[in-house]
Amino acid sequence: MFMFTADRLFTGHEDVLLKFMFTVITKKEIYLYDWSDEGCFVRSSDGEDIQCECHHLTAFSVLMAKGDISTETLDTITTVGLSVSVFSLLLFLTIEFLVWSAVVKSNLSHFRHTAIVNIAVFLLLADCSFLASTSPESLSDTVCFVLTVCKHLFFLAMFTWMLCMSVMLVHQLIFVFNPLRKRVFMFLSSILGYVVPILIVGSSYIYCKYTYRPYYDKKTCWLVFERLLEGSMHAFLIPVGTIMMTNLFSMVVVIVTLVKSSVPDSSKADDKDTAKGILKVVLVLTPIFGVTWIIGFFLLMLEPDNPMFEVANYSFTILNSFQFQYLNSESLLVISKAEVWFRTQRKGTIQSRFLTYIFKNVIPSYTYLMTVFFTVLYMDQSAS
């Protein structure tokens, strides 16, 4: 919540909706925009001055923005999206716990599921931290600082485990006859997935403290972007950008390997199967490797008056607050494999009935509710 006072611009009706102007100053130019009146109302008026009060939440896209770029619609998408994400991740982790012995049969599957579970855990913690900080004005400085550190740490840990998974995948493709040993993978991935994020967050905070720069912004409960290569947000942007480029390279290696394996027996049928395989690789690996976060870097590069800015803003918020791909590509794959195993090996057990219930009731309901939500949201936007 924030309040401001302005001189009366009109005389007459009290319910006249006022428009105010504000400036966004950058290094080179000054842009002038209308201040959004969404979430604002007139609190008091004494005939000379008008006191307005505004309530705004924090949109998910603030993680990759130069400042608070929230709107009422983005706030709604963020709140619903993160709530759905939390539910999906809890469901996924519950399923993993129930079917771990059924799906983890080799070192390779152990590596993969260890990485996926860590990604899910840290994403869950990060989403919960973000939900707790969506109303920064109601939080104390200490709570805001703690939540900023939590988000910084948990999102970085999520990305480092994504890096562990992509490196492991490329290693298995290139060194087919020299597989990773379990002890080596667990040691290296633990350092990369747990120690490195702590070092980055700790060193960035210490640097900001001893250079008298702000580590976090009280208005957003997030890191500060001052300008290019200045501001604590770069302790998040640089590692994430490096990991995403590495993961993109890993995805290209997987696709090239898939294409090469089908070249000797090239035919129309094989080409069609190859295309399907590539599409499947892209759909499965894009959310797990965090590729959708690339939109956030376009969001940083675009100015607010650019028509593509709003497209990038909404795309980033929808794709990364809702974890549709994660649930569909991973949870459904695990459920389907485990459901078959329980149906043949442990028919009638609690786990078998639980998985059958999820397939027949939870997932169809989930899909239906998300379809209704986006339909209503689209109609509301069209009407406004």
Strands ordered across the beta sheet of 49-54: 2-7, 49-54, 40-45
With the CA atoms of 185, 187, 190 and 196 taken in that order, what torsion angle do they form, in degrees rounded to the nearest 10?
Answer: -110
pLDDT for the residue numbered 13:
40
- What percent of the chain is helix, strand and coil (3-state, nearest 5)? 70, 10, 25
Question: Helices marked H in 289-362 — which ranges?
Answer: 294-301, 307-321, 324-326, 332-345, 350-357
What 3-state DSSP class applies to 22?
Answer: strand
**The two three-digit tokens of residue 105, written as one number:** 């049969």
Containing H/E element for 34? strand 30-34
Sign of CA dihedral 180, 157, 200, 246: positive
Domains identified in the chain and CATH numbers = 2-54 (no CATH), 60-383 (1.20.1070.10)
- Residue 249: per-residue pLDDT: 92
Nearest Cα to Cα of residue 243 among 123, 169, 160: 160
Q: What is the pLDDT of residue 237?
A: 96
pLDDT at 194: 96
Measured between alpha carbons, how far is 125 from 82 in angstroms, rounded to an integer? 11
Angstrom CA distances, 48 to 13, 14, 45, stand at 14, 12, 7
The continuous run of DSSP H or E covering 76 comes out as: helix 72-103
Q: How far apart are CA 120 and CA 154, in angstroms?
A: 11
For 142, counting Cβ atoms within 10 Å of its Cβ (0-12 exposed, 13-18 middle, 19+ buried), the class is exposed
Residues in the chain with pLDDT values less than 50: 1-36, 324-325, 327-328, 339, 368
CA distance 150 to 157: 10
pLDDT for res 235? 96
DSSP tag of 193: I
Distance CA 193, CA 121 (A): 12
Phi/psi of residue 2, nearest 5 degrees: -145, 155
Q: What does the alpha-carbon distance between residue 342 and residue 356 come to, in Å, rounded to a whole number?
A: 10
